[in-house]
Amino acid sequence: MRHAPAPFRFDRRRLLAASAALLGTAAWPLARAAGYPSKPVRVIVPFPAGGGGDTLARLMLTSAATHLGQSMVFENVAGAGGNIGSVQGARAEPDGYTMLYGTNGTLGINQTLYAKPGFDPVKDFVPVSRLSEIPLVMVVRQESSLASAADLIAFARSNPGKLSFASAGNGTTSHLAVEILKAQLGLHMVHIPYRGGAPAMTDLIGGQVDFMIEISANAMPHVTSGRLRALAVSTRQRLPSLPQVPALAESGAPSFHVTAWDGVLAPAGTPPEAIAAMSRAVRAALSDPETVAQLGKRGAVPSPLAGDEFGQFVRSEIQRWGQAVKASGAKVD
């Protein structure tokens, strides 16, 4: 009986070995994805601990951690309007274990406000998910003679330069929101910048300035306490939490729609499976009734937007806020 030549048996063994290797290679990403995350995930928050952004980041991403199956360790790296922490996030190892919390300020406004922010939100990061949108509220002191947003707009038209508005500082959301309103309606009002939202609110309550359009999370405690009165909200529709307060869009500024927002990004080059896992965890967290309720108390609305959609949104916001910064003349070298 003739047997098959030895070379044939050798080639068959090599073919089987090669097939096994290929199967192993194909299975490797799946195993890696199934094993992510295998340790806590670091989240860089580019703001001081205890502030509005830090509070929202911890609220939403702690909830996301329960769906991710690993804890998240928050690291506050404040400075330069959020640029220092954002640069650190851009330079982090892209292994899926470092994420950056970003806002319309750090990712949108700062790209025009600062001559050298030190990072590019589009090139240096992979978008994971938008988290929430935060409406703004036009507020006046309780004793103000301005009964509505329509009254305020009418007074500003008739008395150019007579109304003053406070902001948390040059180039902040509270500053640029009014600049957008001024540009849309052709108004002239005097800007009084402060070093933060808290001192701006204090002077508004004390009557040193006439009004402010401030992020709801900062304004609502004063409205609830009765120290300030809400005239309008910055969204197109009224807020469920403030059904009696009209939108600026129905108060004489039909095109006005401005919200702050926040999101999560990862350093460019982060494995897609890590991005996908984090995005799923965020979406699950923002569907959790308790998380939604806690956000509502702070004036924030869950608004997940994942992947390329979030990336496109960031690009559009860089342009929109950039136009407002240029119109305001604000600049940080």
CA distances from 113 to 71, 116, 279, 326 (A): 35, 9, 29, 8
User: From CA 230, how far away is CA 78, in angstroms rounded?
Assistant: 31
H-run or E-run covering 263 = strand 259-267
pLDDT of res. 37: 97
- Token pair 């994420």: residue: 99
pLDDT of res. 34: 56
User: In percent, how much of the chain has pLDDT > 70?
Assistant: 90
pLDDT in tens, 63-107: 999 999 999 999 999 999 999 999 999 999 999 999 999 999 999
pLDDT, mean over the chain: 90
pLDDT in tens, 174-189: 999 999 999 999 999 9
The arithmetic mean of pLDDT across residues 193-214, rounded, is 95
At CA 312, angle to CA 292 and CA 238, rounded to 5?
40
b/e code 7-40 from CB counts within 10 Å (16+ = b): eeeeeeeeeeeeeeeeeeeeeeeeeeeeebbeee
**pTM value?**
0.82
Instruction: Evaluate if residue 30 carries a pLDDT over 70.
Output: no
Instruction: Evaluate if residue 259 carries a pLDDT over 60.
Output: yes
CA-CA-CA-CA torsion for 328, 235, 199, 47, nearest 10 degrees? -90
Instruction: Evaluate if residue 137 carries a pLDDT over 80.
Output: yes
User: From CA 32, how far away is CA 12, in angstroms rounded?
Assistant: 30
Write down all domains in the chain, each with its CATH number in brackets: 41-134+260-328 (3.40.190.150), 135-250 (3.40.190.10)
